[in-house]
Amino acid sequence: MASGPEQFRGRATIVDVAAAAGVSRQTVSNALNYPDRVAPSTLARVHREIERLGFMPNAAAQQLRRRKASAYGFEVNPSGAGKMGHILDGFLVELTVAAPDHSCHLVTFAPDLTSLLAGYDQILSTGLVDGFVLGDTRHDDPRPAWLLQNDVPFVTFGRIWDEPQMGRWVDVDGRVGMELAVGHLLEQGYTSIAYLGWPDGSPVGDDRRRGWLAGLAAAGLADDPIAEEAVQDLPTATAAADRLLARLGPGSAILCASDLLALGALRAVRNRGLEPGHDIGVVGFDDSDVAEALQLTSLRQPLQQAAAEAWRIVHEKGTDLSLTALLAPTLTVRESTSRTGPENT
């Protein structure tokens, strides 16, 4: 059935117009903003399709192309502010510190999560930003596709999980980090390594779980993996870790998807009268201030490097996989994985 204005009105995009007119998205953009650059016959064809499809050019994106603000928007979610292990707080700091080296700055904003894209459109319409740095990527994230359709520059901290062939992201390799942690625990002499992770469906959590399993497989220990799940909540994590300890003997270890989950594991270990490190090894992820205070071994994300890569990518054009940076975390070793006493690296 042929598509008409009734089908597209209010939601036709520049991509739809380009496909209908048989031209590139850039040609449609030029027809709207720089018509002198387009052949008259092509220009007429593009405008016919714009009218037929009821395409409404994004006024914010047009304004974006006319002038530069040398600024990029960064969405903040107030519900995560101040929570332990909220890695975006640290990433935001590093982005801000690095911004002057790239002749730009950040504009933070908190859109209504029930109308997320409208919030992005609104800040674009102010002319305050040239594009966006996105955090907290996830499955079914509508932001990358919307920004592409409207020719808005962006980069994501976290892979674009639903489009593995698409570039424009910087991420930390959780899988490699977990494999590194498994190797460390085995070197320390722990005989069984259990996993405390988030419920299935979190792309970051699932990636870290795969790293744990890969580390076990490399050591020939993957026949009967022991795992529990918990949301990012201390009492829930403590209860889940206690269930793991009921199945583990002394000399075992618990590898955790975050420092908060690891804090629950430390509590569960001590509640059973055991000593972290000597009796049960515990490893977290993110190397937060709490990890340092509690002598928790943890994987550190290279946020300074991630910020530098994000600023590099956001100024580039294209979406190919050359516009990616997958960074390796490092392991900070502390008493929670020392069988004999304090150890720091």
Confidence class for position 217, pLDDT limits 50, 70, 90: very high
Comparing CA positions, the residue from 150, 87, 95 lying closest to residue 123 is 150
pLDDT at 8: 43
Confidence class for position 230, pLDDT limits 50, 70, 90: very high
Lowest-confidence range among 127-136, 189-198, 232-241, 333-342? 333-342
DSSP-derived 3-state class of residue 317: coil
Are 298 and 326 in contact by the 8 Å Cβ rule? The answer is no
pLDDT at 29: 82
Distance separating alpha carbons of residues 340 and 193, to the nearest angstrom: 18
CB atoms within 10 A of CB 57: 16
Higher pLDDT, 32 or 310: 310
Residue 241 CA, chain-centre distance (Å), reads: 26
Are 270 and 209 in contact by the 8 Å Cβ rule? The answer is no
pLDDT at 81: 47
Longest dimension (CA), the chain: 81
Confidence class for position 342, pLDDT limits 50, 70, 90: very low
Confidence class for position 36, pLDDT limits 50, 70, 90: confident
Residues 307-333 have pLDDT tens digits of 999 999 999 988 889 999 999 999 999
Under DSSP, the state recorded for 276 is: B
pLDDT at 32: 83
pLDDT at 68: 72
Instruction: Provide, rounded to the nearest whole percent, the portion of the chain with pLDDT above 90.
Output: 71
Residues 45-100 have pLDDT tens digits of 999 998 898 887 765 555 555 557 789 999 997 654 445 557 999 999 999 999 99
**191 CB-near residues (< 8 Å, 6+ apart):** 251, 252
pLDDT at 1: 40
The pTM score is 0.78
Distance separating alpha carbons of residues 44 and 32, to the nearest angstrom: 11
Residues 160-211 have pLDDT tens digits of 999 989 999 999 999 999 999 999 999 999 999 999 999 999 999 999 999 9
Helices (runs of H) and strands (runs of E) counted in the chain: 14, 12
Under DSSP, the state recorded for 99 is: G
What's the length of the chain? 345
State the chain's mean pLDDT as an integer: 89
Strand order through the sheet with 324-327: 105-109, 71-75, 131-134, 154-157, 169-172, 324-327
Distance separating alpha carbons of residues 185 and 280, to the nearest angstrom: 10
Q: Please return the burial class of 159, using the count of CB atoms within 10 Å of its CB with bins 0-12, 13-18 and 19+.
A: buried
Average pLDDT over residues 120-137: 91
